[in-house]
Homo-oligomer: A and B are copies of this chain.
Amino acid sequence: MLENSSKTDLSSLGEFGLIDHLTKHFEIVNESSIKGVGDDAAVIEYSGKQTLVSTDMLVEGVHFDLSYVPLKHLGYKAVTVNLSDICAMNAMPKQITVSIAVSSRFPVEALEELYSGIQAACNNYKVDLVGGDTTTSLTGLIISVTAIGEALKEDITFRNGANDKDLICVTGDLGGAYMGLQLLEREKSVFKDNPNLQPDLEGNDYILERQLKPEARIDIPILLKALGVKPTSMIDVSDGLASELFHLCKQSDKGCQLFEEKIPIDPMTYDRARQFNLDPTLCALSGGEDYELLFTVPLADHEKIANHPDITIIGHMTPRSEGLNLITKNLVSAPLKAQGWDSFK
């Protein structure tokens, strides 16, 4: 996707020209964004609310592979994964800053593609780009996004508030993003062996979209409020269900019972996992990048959420002494293993 017909060298715009060029079509939509791009700092005002801040860095070759990730999708995803962290506090993202370091092999047109994805995410989630930095790197592309959001103090949900017997809930379905990645990696290696073969990605739209264009569950804080539910703990599923459950249990000083048969897995994810000789449950537990929300609610709230089509109750919290356990489909209890994604491994 870097082979654009017209290429403009980065140095032709200069640092300030480049920032202006890339951000000129971004409009401010939130009243809380008092001052956006163009000064030493952005100015934000959330009167009567608390401010949430989260930051993530994406590195080419570590977090993404430009041989199969379109730059527009990458821009969209870089925003999504940060907004997801704000949603995971039961809060609403309102602003982002984006810093990129980029080597001279990228023409201006490539960065325009990247920023068109950033803008698509800003439009979709109604967040404002209010600042950032653009600089050179010696190799590759690095994207650092900071998301800023707001919430009433009483709504903010931490990782450490889960109680014994609380229901464990998850939104959407899991494992799809991981299967999308497996598919892309397979097609990449097929292409490497025989550059004349076209990639065979047809009929896999759902899992490819889960990997390439994940969505932040900005709808969930609103839904929970409408249902009258305040979660006791919450986290987003970036590293895999098992890893996130470990965080909630550790910080809440609790154990858990997770029921394998309850874990929501889309039929396509299930089928492709089987085709790849992978255990679909393991894909959900350890795959990561689904960006669904995992949260606990008091048992008394069972009625309020039990019938919502987008929320699945997958287990419950226990005393810490009972440990973290997976109840398998044949009703065997096995200790849960944390196998989240670790970029240092």
Stretch at the interface among A85-93, A206-214, A217-225, A316-324: A85-93
Query: A146 at interface (Cβ–Cβ under 8 A)?
Result: yes
Contact pattern, A 12-23, Cβ under 8 Å of B = 1, otherwise 0: 011110100000
> Could you tell me if B54 and A42 are in contact, using CB atoms closer than 8 angstroms?
yes
**Listed residue (A50, A159, A345) with the most chain B CB atoms within 10 angstroms of its CB:** A50
In the assembled complex, the Cα of A41 lies from the Cα of B10 at a distance in Å of 34
CB within 8 A of A136: which of B11, B16, B56, B344? Answer: B344
CB within 8 A of A53: which of B60, B97, B135, B142? Answer: B97
Chain B residues with CB under 8 A of A236: 40
Q: What's the number of copies of this chain in the assembled complex?
A: 2
A-B contact pairs, 18 of them (CB 8 A): A11-B345, A13-B344, A14-B345, A15-B342, A16-B342, A38-B159, A39-B160, A39-B251, A40-B236, A43-B51, A53-B95, A53-B148, A55-B133, A56-B133, A57-B101, A57-B133, A59-B101, A101-B142
Given contacts A42-B53, A51-B45, A53-B131, contact A138 B85 (CB under 8 A): no
> Could you tell me if A41 and B52 are in contact, using CB atoms closer than 8 angstroms?
yes
Residue of B nearest to A235 (CB): B40
Residue of B nearest to A14 (CB): B342
CB within 8 A of A99: which of B38, B89, B144, B251? Answer: B144
Known A38-B251, A41-B85, A138-B139; 12 more pairs at CB < 8 Å: A40-B54, A40-B88, A41-B52, A41-B86, A41-B149, A51-B148, A53-B148, A55-B144, A56-B99, A59-B135, A62-B101, A133-B144
Query: A4 at interface (Cβ–Cβ under 8 A)?
Result: no
Query: A298 at interface (Cβ–Cβ under 8 A)?
Result: no
Given contacts A41-B89, A140-B138, contact A55 B149 (CB under 8 A): no
Query: A230 at interface (Cβ–Cβ under 8 A)?
Result: no
Chain B residues with CB under 8 A of A148: 51, 53
> Could you tell me if A135 and B62 are in contact, using CB atoms closer than 8 angstroms?
yes
> Could you tell me if B54 and A147 are in contact, using CB atoms closer than 8 angstroms?
no
> Could you tell me if A55 and B88 are in contact, using CB atoms closer than 8 angstroms?
no
In the assembled complex, the Cα of A13 lies from the Cα of B343 at a distance in Å of 11
Query: A153 at interface (Cβ–Cβ under 8 A)?
Result: yes
8 A Cβ contacts from A106-142 to B: 130-133, 135-140, 142
Query: A61 at interface (Cβ–Cβ under 8 A)?
Result: yes
Query: A34 at interface (Cβ–Cβ under 8 A)?
Result: yes
**Listed residue (A46, A57, A142) with the most chain B CB atoms within 10 angstroms of its CB:** A57
In the assembled complex, the Cα of A253 lies from the Cα of B63 at a distance in Å of 43
CB within 8 A of A137: which of B14, B18, B59, B133? Answer: B59
Residue of B nearest to A159 (CB): B39
Chain B residues with CB under 8 A of A60: 138
> Could you tell me if A41 and B14 are in contact, using CB atoms closer than 8 angstroms?
no
> Could you tell me if A35 and B158 are in contact, using CB atoms closer than 8 angstroms?
yes
> Could you tell me if A15 and B343 are in contact, using CB atoms closer than 8 angstroms?
yes
Rounded to whole Å, the gap between the CB of A98 and the closest CB of chain B is 8
> Could you tell me if A43 and B89 are in contact, using CB atoms closer than 8 angstroms?
yes
Chain B residues with CB under 8 A of A156: 43
Chain B residues with CB under 8 A of A57: 99-101, 133, 135, 142, 144
